[in-house]
Amino acid sequence: MNRSTWEQFELDSQHHTIVPVWRSLIADTETPVAAFRKLTEGRDATLFESVEHGDRWGRFSFIALDPFVTLSANGLAVHVSPAPEADDLVAELMDAVPTDRGILAALDVLLNRLSAPKYPELPPFHGGISGYLGYDVVREIERLTSVPHDDLGMPDAIMSVTRLVAAFDHFAQRLWLIDNVYVGAGSDLAMLGRLYQRSQRRLDDLATRLSGADDTALLEPPDRVEPATPIAVSMPASAFEDAVEVAREYIRAGDIFQVVLSRRFEVGLTVDPFEVYRALRQVNPSPYMFFMRQRDAADVTLVGSSPEPMAQVIDGEAIIRPIAGTRFRGADEAHDRRLAAELSEHPKERAEHVMLVDLARNDIGRIAQFGTQRMTELLTVERYSHVMHLTSEVRGQVRDDASSVDVFRASFPAGTVSGAPKVRAMEIIDEIEPVKRGPYGGVFGYFDFSGNLDTAIVIRTMVCTGGRAFVQAGAGVVVGSDPSDEELETRNKANALFHAVGLAVASTPVETA
């Protein structure tokens, strides 16, 4: 079937508050980048893409745009920004959102009121609440009394309730256009008819915009890329090395086993952040590629290429995949194998990774049905475009009384950006790091309308706000850490973004006749 029907819409509206109206198109001449430009025309929107194992694009890409409402949070205060054309049904829904209990309480209320049917023919994401939940959202979960200086004033979280989705199936060469229609509870037949016809017009408009000409020029890359040079840093090298020594003292005193310290680099940016995203797709393709532009609720743009999921829920099963331990890829296959063996056998790398696996098992255990927790991977070497990592995977069936937001609460933040034990490590981070982390160390992803969750840790990400651009990177500190090595690790991790900025600036559009 190439499109939904009125009969299905009417039937599903009796049991759900959101009903997708959709159609599929042959899209063998379209790309996600070109479609994003044509559909959004500079407006707020999000693009999700994926590269598997560093060498092939994932099957699906998603563009989310025209949300019903966007939530932005600072501390426990939540600001609700409905779409300009929000109808009475949506206004009634927004009135139920608490604005003084934090973003997670707001998500609880929304997801309890929003349900959608599962259509097996549709791509895995076709509607939900998407955006970022920054590191400081943890203060809604744990009692942390010290808050670092907030020098940027960014929202702790921005989450949008998706209305329109354009989903690429790269294998089938199909593009799915999906309008998530909020029908509320008890809409009469006349109201449903109006909502359905309005939805058809929206899909017609999307198809028309996609059929238009794309004026995006091909880019000619330079022969040599000069990475961007940071113009400021939250902790200079000497200060960061001193911070590592302070952390080691806490470890020797028995407070913690490990802590992840980070620092923030500022880079000059003279091009559109979307051009940096285009470059990042080239230089650091990753399992979680994302671009989020948000100007209405706040001035924030994220450009991300994260290798690491934070937590997932797929059809009632929770999944956490710790990633820790890194080596660059080898010059050839034999060299690659030697580096992989060195990584998997290195005592320090194994010890750090196993600590994070223990955290993941503890997190899954908090929301899993008794007896369902299992380890499906342990200390596997996973290869990406430029590096290889040690990975493991823990799974468990989510209890009937736990939601996807509860899974998030149980697992946030990831141990790979905090430490072990988590709470004490976070207290030490608050003491040592001079500024709030913002999106860094939080998550980017979505809660869908069917109870699923897919989030990536916000690392390898550039944050643009107030005309400035920032890249933050961290290093895991253990008792045997060398301060200069950890300082170098933060620079190496940030380098992919510096390189992408350099490529975006130096690439030149191909002139047309």
Catalytically active residues, by annotation:
389, 416, 440, 460, 476
Q: Which DSSP helix (H) or strand (E) runs through 309?
A: strand 309-314
Question: Cβ–Cβ contacts within 10 Å for residue 432, how many?
Answer: 21
Q: Which amino acid, residue 76?
A: L
Which residue's structure tokens are 């988590």? 422
Q: Which amino acid, residue 368?
A: A
Question: Cβ–Cβ contacts within 10 Å for residue 510, how many?
Answer: 9
- Rg of the chain over CA atoms, in angstroms? 23
Residue 425, phi then psi, degrees to nearest 5: -60, -40
Going 426 to 432 to 436 to 440, the CA torsion angle's sign is: negative
Question: Cβ–Cβ contacts within 10 Å for residue 137, how many?
Answer: 22
Q: What angle do helix axes 483-506 and 237-252 make, rounded to 10 degrees?
A: 140
Q: Three-class SS of residue 96?
A: coil
Tokens representing 483 are 């301060």
Q: What angle do helix axes 103-113 and 404-411 make, rounded to 10 degrees?
A: 160
Q: Which amino acid, residue 333?
A: E
- Pick the closest to residue 18 from 89, 78, 71 (CA basis): 89
